[in-house]
Amino acid sequence: MEHKCVLTGIAIVVLDRGFVYVGRVTVDGDWCLIADAKNIRFWGTTKGLGELVNGPTATTKLDAVGNVRAPLRAVISIIDASADAWNTVL
């Protein structure tokens, strides 16, 4: 069986049931793996979630959760984020 990784990098992942994480994302097979994950508890934005691609705002609230493994069927969207902006937080 061939093993392919289809995405890797820092991203914001929106899961079903309202969970939103940011971290070092790898989509592999039927799984979305988020290393060094932070739950985005409060966006702290004025222009929506997309504003966070350039890093957290002064009022964004993040909670460290370690590594998250989510089945792809639970993923609503994956938003690429700036590695430079998020590296200091992750």
Q: What would the pLDDT profile of 59-84 be if each residue is shown by its tens digit?
A: 999 999 999 999 999 999 999 999 99
In a domain, 73, yes or no: yes
In a domain, 14, yes or no: yes
In a domain, 44, yes or no: yes
Q: What integer is the mean pLDDT of 2-17? A: 83
Taking only the tens place, the pLDDT of each residue in 23-57 is: 999 998 899 999 999 999 999 999 999 999 999 99
pLDDT given for residue 12 in this prediction: 98
In a domain, 89, yes or no: no
Give the range of the structural domain holding residue 38, as residue numbers without chain letter: 5-84
For the chain, what is the domain count?
1
pLDDT given for residue 2 in this prediction: 61
- Cα–Cα dist 48/5, whole Å: 29
Tokens representing 49 are 């979630």
Does the structure show a pLDDT above 90 at 8? Answer: no
Bridge partners of residue 68, in order along the sequence: 34
